Structure 1
Amino acid sequence: MKYSLTALLIFFTLGSKAQLVPSEFEQITHLVTFGAESKPGWGDDDHTQVFFFVVPESFTKPVYIRVFDPDIGGKHDEPNGSWDTGVKFSVYGGQGTHSDPDAKKIDPIGNYKSGTLLASKLFQAEARYDDQWYTFGPFNPMEGEEAPELNGRVFKVIAEGIAGNDGNLYKYFLSTKDQENKEVEGANAFTYEYSFRLPEVKNSVAHLYPFIDDDVISITQHNFDFDFEGSILIYSIAKNRHRATASANRQWGTSKHPIIDEEKNTTVDLQIVKGRTSRNDMVCYITNQYDEAIAFFSVPVGGPPKFKYKVNVKYKDKGND
């Protein structure tokens, strides 16, 4: 993942509220991870989700990573028979946390658990954690991996479905407090493959925000198990309602889209528009022309893109009236 100096300046002067994942910008209900024995038709292709949190270099106080509703069962989660699922949350820091190539792949293979394990806990059907926050930490920001290209230090959180076939719906918050959600100013979060619950509202719009760097000349969007429930549209400063291919049940939908110079070092808005009122979980990722995954940021770098309308005005030559 590379960023130009201009993009970095935009990124770290946003002052955005980036700690809640999914963020208010994304309009996504929850993150989703299913147990290892669940079938792909439930909307999770690999039962693992990896997220990264960036703590600004200038921030030196302890931080906490909080998980909302980490247990399986109760108010928010997706049952599949009896509640028999376990999901393990693990926090990593130190060398290789993000810089290891396997950490940036869309599949949980190889050394994707790179870095130093800082904390871990397995959650099952435990009512005391239902609809509640669980806190990992405190962590010294120095425990994160130094990432000069992001002007900060990076922590990694892996949610892994260990057993069972139920769905765990949850959220994250990077906080300065252990018992409340208090933002780390200038922080952000990102992932390379996003597993999430769509809103159960017809015509609702979920947003994913990949950042496009200097080297990208085309992107390929991949989405899984959308069930043909609506439309997938791409918006950028140069694209306005550019249609992408949607997926069927238990299938991948892919489409390739060129990137022009005007779109480089900007954020693209991948919009997922629901056509029905239904419950649906799905997976998305985006790759560049080298099949390298591109990060989705919880808070869009530079803000959500605004299409630049080009107006051609022709004036009549008064001399020919």
Structure 2
Amino acid sequence: MQHNVLLFLLIFISIKTFAQPVPAVDENIPYLVTFGKEGDKAWGDSDFTQIIFFSVPKNHTDPIFIRVFDPEVGGDVDEQKGEWDTRMKYSIYGGKEACSNEDAMKINLGGNFRSGTLLATKSFTENARYEQQWYTFGPINPTEGEYLPDYGGYIFKVIIEGIGGDDGNLYRLFMSQLSTENQPVEGAFAFYFKYKFRLHDDVNEVSHIYPFIDDKVLAVKQSNFDWDNDGFIRIISVAKNGEFLKVSGDNEWCESMHAVQPAEKNTSYDIQIIKKKNAHIKSNNVVIFLKNQYDELMPFYSVPIGGIPKYKYSIGIKP
């Protein structure tokens, strides 16, 4: 219980108005990505499904809305393979076991990952009406989520599935207080266990993801897929000043282990994604997840809990 109180005190301190877009502003990631189920995994999607969780604090009583930018599969944003033929389904779940069911948090989809109560669903194909526009689900009663104090309140699960076709769907999400614009829900945030997204084409852009290192974590094992050797991934923390992660090639997985220093407990990692200057790789879609020493998945948070970490040179320096 003491751990949970500390974690969500840090979340409360860290929450900013941009904590609820996914990808988040601090992450500097262009889009989430999900391909149709007949897609080629070598294009950067390992299982054609993405799962995002939103946490709404218990004291929030007004309706919420979950909004999707560019939900259709066609036009300038998405990635075409042959004819536009992809159908993408968005589903929102709440209620018992929406998040706590172990199948909902696995890296290999199977079993009952659609656990919980289905609150809303809609499928999209190519449709100019939704090209670079927002579609809104809701209103949703906050108490329809699964109440999990360990995750900050009422939890909603959003599943994005490519149920047909082979094109790539690029999109963003936002939890809002309003149906017609993006107005953050105070104290809310998003988290995710297996993150699939598009890298910037601009080699000068640096992207970030933010796992939290709680007091139980002794080591982190990272796994990434289809990075195409497109640059570098490194950890910045209070005790690490650029420790490099192993990076995968085309259509392959790779992993590396990273020991956690005592000073890093109860702080966030800033995992930085830096493009290779001379590779000129465009439209690169990638997958990444982390596990602790118990082989448990570790969540990434849309807000860096405790703030973006800064390396402290004095840590570990003996007089």
Shorter-chain TM-score range: over 0.9
Asked whether the equivalents of residues 92 and 116 of structure 1 are also in contact (C-alpha less than 8 Å), the reply is yes
Give distance in 1, aligned partners of 2:271 and 2:15. Answer: 23
4+ residue runs of structure 1 moved beyond 4 angstroms? Answer: 311-314
Q: Which of 1 and 2 has greater Rg?
A: 1
Partner of residue 288 from structure 1, selected from 263, 288, 292: 292
> 2:71 corresponds to which residue?
70
Which position in structure 2 is the counterpart of 1:88?
A: 89
SS of the residue 1:13 aligns to? helix
1:202, 1:12 → 2: CA distance?
34
Match of 1:319 in 2: none
State how 1:1-321 maps to structure 2 within 5 Å.
Answer: 3-17=3-17, 18-275=19-276, 276-277=279-280, 278-310=282-314
**Alignment partners' CA distance in 1, 2:64 and 2:146:** 14
Measured in 2, the distance between the counterparts of 1:87 and 1:140 equals 25
Matched position secondary structure for 1:89: strand
TM-score w.r.t. the length of structure 1 is 0.95
Shift of 1:81: 0.5
Match of 2:14, SS state, is coil
- Asked if the contact 1:4/1:265 (under 8 Å) is kept, the reply is no
Counterparts of 1:130 and 1:36, CA distance in 2: 21
CA distance in 1, matches of 2:13, 2:205: 30
Displacement of 1:42: 0.4
Question: 1:4 Cα shift?
Answer: 3.6
1:69–1:170 CA contact under 8 A, matched in 2: yes
Quote how far apart the aligned CAs of 1:151 are: 3.0
Give the residue type in structure 2 aligned to 1:16: K
Per-residue deviation, residues 86-144 of structure 1 (Å, max 9, x unmatched): 11000000110111111111122111111100000011111111110000010010001
- Which deviations, in whole Å up to 9, do the C-alpha atoms of 1:48-89 show, x marking residues without a partner? 000000011111100000000000000200000100001100
- Residues 86 and 65 of structure 1, relative CA distance in 2, 3 Å threshold: same
8 Å CA contact 1:71–1:168 kept in 2: the answer is: yes
- Map Cα deviations across residues 181-213 of structure 1 (whole Å, 9 max, x no partner): 111111100100000001111132111111111
2:13 alignment partner, SS class? coil
One-letter amino acid of the structure 2 residue matched with residue 301 of structure 1: I
Q: Distance in 2 between matches of 1:227 and 1:254?
A: 14
Equivalent-residue separation in structure 2 for 1:212 and 1:237 (angstroms): 11
Distance 1:155 1:9 in 2: 21
- Identical positions, percent: 50
Say whether the 8 Å CA contact 2:72–2:130 is kept in structure 1.
Answer: yes
For 2:164 and 2:194, locate their aligned partners in 1 and report how far apart those are by CA, in whole Å. Answer: 21
- Is the Cα contact below 8 Å between 1:34 and 1:165 reproduced in 2? yes
Q: Deviations over 1:239-272 (max 9, x none)?
A: 1100110000001121000112211111111111
Task: Report the CA distance between 1:238 and its aligned residue.
Answer: 0.7
Partners of 1:252 and 1:313 in 2: CA distance: 38
Contact 2:80 2:168 in 1 (8 A): yes
Structure 2, unaligned stretches of length 5 or more?
Answer: none
Alpha-carbon contact 1:4-1:213 (below 8 Å) kept: no
Change over 3 Å in CA distance of 1:270–1:313 after alignment to 2 = closer
Structure 1 residues 15 and 210: CA distance shift in structure 2, 3 A: closer
Q: Which moved more, 1:176-185 or 1:2-11?
A: 2-11
- Local SS of the residue matching 2:9: helix
Equivalent residues of 1:13, 1:186 under 8 A apart: no
SS in 2 for 1:10: helix
Segments of structure 1 that go 5 or more residues without pairing to the other structure are 315-321
- The answer to whether the Cα contact below 8 Å between 1:4 and 1:214 also exists between their aligned partners in 2 is no
How many residues end up aligned between the 2 structures?
313
